[in-house]
Structure 1
Amino acid sequence: MTKSNNSATLNLQYGGGFRMSSVIPVIRKFNRFYTNVLGLLDQHLLETDFSLSEARVLFEIGHTDRCTAKMLIDKLRLDAGYLSRILKRFEEQDLIYRIQSDEDRRLYYLRLTDRGRDALAKLDARSDDQIRLMIGHLPEQAQRNIAKNMAAIENALSDDPQIRQEVRIRCDLKPGDVGSLIHLHGWIYAKECGYNHVFESYVCQTFVDFFKHYSPDKDRFWFAEAGDEIVGAIAIVGHPDRRAQLRWFIVHPEYRGLGLGKRLLQESLQYSKEKGFRRVFLETTEDQKTAIAMYERAGFRKIAEHENHLWGVHHIEQTYELQLP
């Protein structure tokens, strides 16, 4: 009964479109819930000799190369005086030591002693055990969903650009990949270009036509994944006369500006050269300014265009082609 009521609340809040006022109470409710979870974790750590803050400091020192007190203050958002007391205690307990920088004699790096590494290993083991107790009774898919959604929260709220770069690229085609690409195209193009459901059906049809002649010897996908989510993709489809078509090139809005699109394009063109294709062509629309600029920098030139009124908005479809050496 409770689960049903929660779902109804979320549907009511998001069903009519985005409203900041509808998001705030959901986040506040989650904060209240997760504060209790953190309290349990903190209590678990207090059964050792460390508070949650002390455990975080010990972890960062153990896992950060050339760690400094300033880095800890900035990353953990700790008061300088409070951190100083933690570090003093750690030194007195022979958990850490300081080493002077060769480049800047005013700078000291923090390192774990053997005793500190042993303490951290025990903390890590206890924390792992606590998480297992918390989620071990849940189905595997529920555990994956928790991890995925936590990673999404960290990605969205973090000011550390390195977090957003934890993206893997694979080429193997798995069940569900095409469905994810269709969804990504339908959602992004509706949001950014105003395209309607007809465009999504068009994308579906392109895959239907593609799989009639699919051959891994000439056709290749690149999927960019963050966690279990596809956040970007590109494909090369082989055609007769040593021609290849670049298709389904897309990058999730939250992962743009990291060089992911450039990397996908470069890998697809390198593959085309290795396969002996002489020309690569692609079809796009004039409103894709960023993508078109990327194509042109790679050497593509526009060879044709025509108007299209089928997707709910008037636009011009364009064909670009690249001559390979």
Structure 2
Amino acid sequence: MTNKTSLVDSIRAASREMVRELGFMESTLASTSYSPSAVHTLMEVAAQGAMTSAQLVGFLGLDKSSVSRMVGKLVAWGEVAEEAASDDGRAKQLSLTAKGRRTVEKIHAFGQMQVVNALSHMNPSQQQAVAQGLAAYADGLKAHRLGSGLSKQNAPEIRTGYQPGLVGRVAEMHATFYSAHSGFGQFFESKVASGVAEFAGRLSEPCNRVWTANLNGRIVGSLAVDGDDLGDNKAHLRWFILDDGCRGTGVGRQMMAEAMNFCDIRGFAETHLWTFKGLDAARKLYESCGFQLVHEEEGSNWGTPVTEQQFVRVASSA
């Protein structure tokens, strides 16, 4: 069994267990007398304030006839009210009744209790991982159904400057990726951690800056420009890494663009970076930003023999 097959099977098994534990195998959901689709309809109408049945079809991913029958039942039960849309008299605008608002409050209370109880069995790091992973997984399922990319609400936010957990997360992301890619171990992780920790103490210098990609309160990417390290008006691009789930989303290119803009504004004559042969996607991004390979050689400075590469970007005005 390949690693990818094992991962897929693991996710499918967890998904089945979640369906059972959340109560979707029952005929009713969230301690109500309504079906799962009816409960989701009430929640979407509440979240949007008012919407049409056609809009519900898109939100729920159900066919028109199923939504029409379900809306008819909710109207009959006094949960939803229908009235002509202000911009189109042929369309019916849906909104919650007073009874519907009370029902949604109970649904939210039940759901929050489920989440709080589950989170109580996890440490903070696991809680953040669950929030990030579920958001990315749900977004991936939706993107496949709609034939689109990462949704904006689940796209990482880019921030600058130090934030709590920076040193540990940058070291963790590097250790996780390069352990799988290059067989690096404790020596590499310790060297990254000590380097980031030393650099963090110099972030007050205007020639130094760090960018992080953040998703659901968790650092999922990093990139730094060290203007002190090389001297001679040369910048050192360091610690460019993204969590697996964020690769291919464009956030790495955004971070690189901000870093290159910073280097240009600061007036660095050259920007250098060191990496390893075989990271083809990263190399393509570097070269698109003006970097050129100037040197490569076999080395074991990181604990395992690899082909180290040096790239240089020369400022256009230099």
TM-score (norm. length: structure 1):
0.73
User: In the aligned structure 2, how far is the partner of 1:132 from the partner of 1:277?
Assistant: 51
State the percentage of identical aligned residues: 21
Match of 1:183 in 2: 172
Instruction: Tell me which of 211, 222, 228 is aligned to 1:222.
Output: 211
Match of 1:315 in 2: 307
Matches within 5 A, 1:36-115: 36=23, 42-46=29-33, 50-63=34-47, 69=53, 72-73=56-57, 75-78=59-62, 80-90=64-74, 95-97=81-83, 99=85, 111-113=93-95
Match of 2:223 in 1: 234
1:202 aligns with 2:191: yes
- Residue by residue over 1:62-97, the C-alpha shift from the partner in whole angstroms, topping out at 9 and shown as x without a partner, is 545996656644653446543221123455656234
Relative to structure 1, the CA distance from residue 90 to residue 24 in structure 2 (aligned partners, 3 Å threshold; closer, same or farther) is closer
1:129 aligns with 2:129: no
Match of 2:290 in 1: 299
Amino acid in structure 1 at the alignment position of 2:110 = Q
| Pairwise CA distance, 1:39 | 5.9
RMSD: 4.0
User: In the aligned structure 2, how far is the partner of 1:75 from the partner of 1:144?
Assistant: 31
Q: Is the 8 A contact 2:273 2:312 kept in 1?
A: yes
Relative to structure 1, the CA distance from residue 17 to residue 77 in structure 2 (aligned partners, 3 Å threshold; closer, same or farther) is closer
Match of 1:156 in 2: 137
Match of 1:168 in 2: 157
Match of 1:9 in 2: none
User: In the aligned structure 2, how far is the partner of 1:229 from the partner of 1:133?
Assistant: 23
Consecutive unaligned residues of structure 1, counting only runs of 5 or more, are 1-15
Match of 1:255 in 2: 246
Match of 2:146 in 1: none
Relative to structure 1, the CA distance from residue 38 to residue 163 in structure 2 (aligned partners, 3 Å threshold; closer, same or farther) is farther
TM-score (norm. length: structure 2):
0.74
Relative to structure 1, the CA distance from residue 292 to residue 17 in structure 2 (aligned partners, 3 Å threshold; closer, same or farther) is closer
Instruction: Tell me which of 15, 21, 39 is aligned to 1:34.
Output: 21
